[in-house]
Amino acid sequence: MDDLLIKGALLYDGSGAEPAIKDVAVSAHKIRAVGSNLPGNASHIIDGTGLALMPGIIDSHTHFDAQITWDATLKPSPALGVTTAVIGNCGFTIAPCKPADRDMTMRNLTQVEGMSLEVLKSGIDWGFETFDEYLAMLRSKGCVVNTAAYIGHSSVRTWVMGADASRREATPHEIEQMQTIVRDAMAAGAVGFASSTSPAHNGEGGLPMPSRLASDAEMMALITAMGERGTGVYMVTKGGQMPVPFLESMAKQSGRPVMIAALLHNSTNPQAVFKDLNQILEANTRGQRLIGQVSCCPLTMDFTLASPYPVEGLQSWKPALGLQGEALKTVLKDRAFRQSVRDEIAAPTTFRLFNGEWDKVHVVETSLPTNILLEQRTVAEIAKEQSRDPLDVMLDLALAEDLQTVFTAQLLNSDTEAVGQMLKHPHSLVSLSDAGAHLTFFNDAGFGLHLLGHWVRDLKAMSLQEATRRLTSQPASIFGMTDRGMIKEGMAADLLLFDPETVGRGPKRRVFDLPGGAARLTTDALGVHGVWVNGQQVADSQGMLAKPPLAGKLLTEFAST
């Protein structure tokens, strides 16, 4: 007897092929049969008539490294169709980590990933030091979804260099030590090596995240160490000083794929992202495998001036980084500081998270009753009405409300036509959910459902079969996950059953379920009827099951692709 039989659904098998109405039988966590009129001999039979069935979504860009140690459900991803999460992106991991470096690691995550220090302190289970011990702990705890973990550059640097990791380049001997850690991690089952050179990535006190201090020689040495076993993906969030041709040379020397983030469209410099994508295309024609991580979601963030992630990548904002209370307010009041911010925003650049598009910055919530009429209005509107500079309007409003004013900014990816081109690029990967990070700023964990609903059904930017391929078999192939990403006999039974006419993600809302009752933003699935991980149901039409099974596997074996 089979464990599960889904009958009569329109099957999108993940390959990109035309769909067909099929039955799918599951036994012992795997797909036993795909066909028509399969015998109804199963312990659980579901009528899929009028619904679509596809492989579960593989989320290739998450930051669940800390959350997974206290929350085996990885909320909210399973309810949003995600059955496999790749953690450790950008190299912002918590393993390896010596006990003496734990506080520094948590404080860096608080800054760079918008995480609450109190949540991290009360939530993280530090039952490990090395990377292989971290994997062993995850394996023993179990998880609702499948997970694969990068070894993270900033953690490797900190293990070897301590506090100096954010202050200087490494010596040749230190690089050799890092290479050993990377080799050991790959032997233990890392999916690859992740790093960042982005100027937006700062740790506590405004110091660069450790990986930003790495020389080109260090980068090349570590990606080469990663690739020695013939497996692994090098993932990097690149800054402007790290051009695509250098990344192509890294792919050539290591023989491994290079995954480049974060390729987002900037309407103030609209051709920059396409220049990167064109160079990625040219590298692939020369036989070097480069992939660009793109997002199907507009990058929109909630923030306060007490923690203003959108502007913290500005060089002119550095005097305010890491400050709190009256010290921060003093800097924000300073006229010279404000003018330097204005000057930088006005200057052209290849990439910047915040570009002074004040018509895309809204006041969400005020703390003083006298300011309530400003809510849901743009800073540009308010500035025009008051005949004042918009930066002054935002800062003065925040200062008057003890930095409690909540703003939201639509930062990047707001041009529908341009984003559509990026999504269809032959060497782009739909990604960048950032699930597990920036929990009070935004939530794009439902990126896959947004692709299926908004881009496929509403805008008809691509076919449903192509969208399912890009969410499933494409990332599985890149990472060497040979038993996932397709619905065919012998594959793992990671499945998503949904209604193509209603699929999507709901509006964001705030919940208070982090350690200590802290808040996070979440979103609900629309049109999802069921999610199965390795043949076990973890979500239904009402969302995640009350007690979902720990059905996921820790993925540690990957094919050389």
Q: Which residues contact 309 (CB under 8 A, 6 or more apart)?
A: 114, 301, 303, 438, 441
CA distances to 248, 382, 429, 484, 561 from 286, rounded to whole Å, are 10, 52, 19, 28, 16
**What is the CA angle 540-543-549, rounded to 5?**
70
Domain boundaries in the chain? 57-298+413-480, 301-409
Indicate the angle between helix axes 390-400 and 379-386, nearest 10 degrees: 100
How far, in Å, CA of 95 to CA of 150, rounded? 10
Contact 131, 190 (CB under 8 A): yes
How far, in Å, CA of 135 to CA of 553, rounded? 11
Between the CA atoms of 295, 300, 305 and 311, what dihedral angle is there, to the nearest 10 degrees?
40
pLDDT of residue 350: 63
pLDDT of residue 370: 95
pLDDT of residue 124: 98
Tell me the sheet residues that pair with 53.
11, 497
Across 358-392, b (16+ Cβ under 10 Å) vs e yields bebbbbebbeeeeeeebeeebbbbbbeeeeeebbe
Per-residue pLDDT tens over the stretch 101-125: 999 999 999 888 878 899 999 999 9
Per-residue pLDDT tens over the stretch 265-303: 988 788 999 999 999 999 999 999 999 999 999 888 888
Q: What is the mean pLDDT of residues 180-209?
A: 94
In this predicted structure, the answer to whether residue 403 has a pLDDT above a threshold of 70 is yes
Percent above pLDDT 90 for the chain: 85
Per-residue pLDDT tens over the stretch 219-242: 999 999 999 999 999 999 998 789
pLDDT of residue 49: 98
Superfamily designation of domain 57-298+413-480: Metal-dependent hydrolases (3.20.20.140)
Expressed in angstroms, the distance from the first to the final Cα of the chain is 36
In the block, which residue shows the tokens 């201090």?
213
Q: Is 53 helix (H, G, I), strand (E, B) or coil?
A: strand
pLDDT of residue 351: 67
In this predicted structure, the answer to whether residue 129 has a pLDDT above a threshold of 70 is yes
In the block, which residue shows the tokens 């992202």?
273
Tokens of 252: 């050539």
- Mean pLDDT (the chain, rounded): 95
Q: What is the mean pLDDT of residues 189-193?
A: 98
Tell me the sheet residues that pair with 509.
522
How many residues are listed for the chain in this entry? Answer: 561
pLDDT of residue 510: 87
In this predicted structure, the answer to whether residue 519 has a pLDDT above a threshold of 90 is no
Q: Structure pTM?
A: 0.91
